[in-house]
Amino acid sequence: MEHFTIATVAEKSPDFRRVLWTGKHTQLVIMTIPPGGEIGEEVHEDIDQILTFVSGTGEARVAGEKREVVQGDLVVVPAGTKHNFVNTGPNPLVLYTVYGPPEHADQAVHRTKQEADAAEAAGRDEPPN
Mean predicted confidence (pLDDT) in 59-82: 98
pTM summary value: 0.95
- Predicted local confidence at residue 129, as pLDDT: 82
Give the CATH class of 14-122: mainly beta
pLDDT given for residue 3 in this prediction: 94
User: If you average pLDDT over residues 67-90, what whole number do you get?
Assistant: 98
- The DSSP-derived string for 11-72 is HH--SSEEEEEE-SS-EEEEEEEPTT-B---B--TT-EEEEEEEESEEEEEETTEEEEEETT
Q: What average pLDDT does the chain have?
A: 97
Q: Give the residue extent of every domain in the chain.
A: 14-122
Query: What does the pLDDT look like over 22-50, one tens digit per residue?
Result: 999 999 999 999 999 999 999 999 999 99
